Amino acid sequence: MKNLPTDLLRTFVTINQLGGFTPAGERLGRSQPAISLQVKRLEELLDIRLFHRSSGIQLTEEGQLLLGYAQKMLDLNDAIVSRLSAPKVSGSVRLGIPNDFEVSFLATAIGRFAQAYPNVTLDVSSDISTNLLQDYGKGEYDLVMAIEENGQLQPRLTDYITEPLVWLRGNNLMLEPGEPLPLILYPKGCLYRKTIINALNQANLPWRIVYSTSSLLGIHAAIKAGLGISALSKSTVPEGLEASVTFAPCPSLGNLSIGFCYEPNKLTSASHMLLDYLKQGLHSL
């Protein structure tokens, strides 16, 4: 029976996460030729082709099948290593996280942390970033993940990444020429809402709000129902919705910064551990 080395599987999964051999090498600290060699070794072990060589990093059917299994194997490997090698940490952490990152982060970074540190109590709340940052200033959170305008002169966030804000619509949406654009938005105070409305006003495009909710699932459902259009950061777009940076007649919405707000000298050991997991999750988007 053959054994599959986890370092080869991790390289394969990272290539698919980052979209190329070169960025995978940068993440894993290996050269591009070394990454290519690892993929070749994995293909030889399994006697299959993982990528269509003429189509960049497009996966073959066997590659698609391996990807699901490889991710599960790596998750189990990382959970075992974290659980057995992790220092004994206890306590509680009050975490604030943006609505649109709640689902993806609960299933990945936060879930893995909870498994690795079962003695840490997590108090997780989701809200729009403006409210999260205000409440952090009032001392209601130990750590906040939030979104703010890209290139802000005095950024409140650290360890951030930059992502484009993309337009979303359902495949059943019919827009009437000349009619106000139907918008599906988070409540007042949301940076997405502010950016969308400002961009449409500057482009002299009429608009109207047809649905407003603080629920990410509500946003998704309203778009899928064909009620209107909205916009989210690129990494939070769910399957089944059409997304693009440009969408006629709408203008481009630019980029946003996604990162963390905290005071290092006030973080407990448990908070530091959670922050490390969240950083890894954010930078793997």
- Would you state the structure tokens that stand for residue 5, as one six-digit string? 């080395």
Regarding the domain with residue range 163-255, which homologous superfamily does it belong to in the CATH classification? Periplasmic binding protein-like II (3.40.190.10)
219 or 107: which leads in pLDDT: 219
248 or 98: which leads in pLDDT: 98
Tell me what pLDDT residue 146 has.
93
Q: Could you tell me if 234 and 164 are in contact, meaning their C-beta atoms sit under 8 angstroms apart?
A: yes
Nearest to 16 by CA among 68, 76, 78: 68
Q: Could you tell me if 259 and 145 are in contact, meaning their C-beta atoms sit under 8 angstroms apart?
A: yes
**Rg of the chain's alpha carbons, rounded to an integer?**
21
Return d(Cα 55, Cα 162) in angstroms, integer: 27
Q: Classify domain 6-85 at the CATH topology level.
A: Arc Repressor Mutant, subunit A (1.10.10)
Nearest to 188 by CA among 127, 260, 103: 127
**Whole-number percent of the chain with pLDDT over 70:** 95
19-23, 142-146, 219-223: which has the minimum mean pLDDT?
A: 19-23
Q: Could you tell me if 235 and 209 are in contact, meaning their C-beta atoms sit under 8 angstroms apart?
A: no
Q: What is the torsion angle, in degrees rounded to the nearest 10, for the CA atoms of residue 152, residue 154, residue 159 and residue 162?
A: 0
CA distances from 272 to 32, 58, 116, 122, 142 (A): 32, 37, 14, 13, 10
Amino acid letter, 99: N
pLDDT in tens, 104-161: 777 678 888 888 888 899 999 999 999 999 999 999 999 999 999 887 656 678 888 8
Q: Where in the chain is the domain with CATH 1.10.10.10?
A: 6-85
Tell me what pLDDT residue 56 has.
66
Q: Where in the chain is the domain with CATH 3.40.190.10?
A: 91-151+258-283, 163-255
Nearest to 96 by CA among 62, 122, 117: 122
Tell me what pLDDT residue 171 has.
85
Is pLDDT above 70 for 164?
yes
How many other C-beta atoms lie within 10 A of the C-beta of residue 209? 15
CA angle 243, 248, 254 (to 5 degrees): 60
What own/partner pairs with CB < 8 Å and gap ≥ 24 does 282-285 have? 282/109, 282/145, 282/159, 282/161, 282/258, 283/161, 284/17, 285/104, 285/161, 285/163, 285/235
Q: What is the torsion angle, in degrees rounded to the nearest 10, for the CA atoms of residue 219, residue 276, residue 16 and residue 151?
A: 60
Is pLDDT above 60 for 244?
yes
Q: Could you tell me if 91 and 269 are in contact, meaning their C-beta atoms sit under 8 angstroms apart?
A: yes
The pTM score is 0.71
CATH architecture of the domain with residue range 91-151+258-283: 3-Layer(aba) Sandwich (3.40)
pLDDT in tens, 23-60: 888 888 888 888 899 999 999 999 999 988 766 678 89
Q: How is residue 86 annotated by DSSP?
A: S
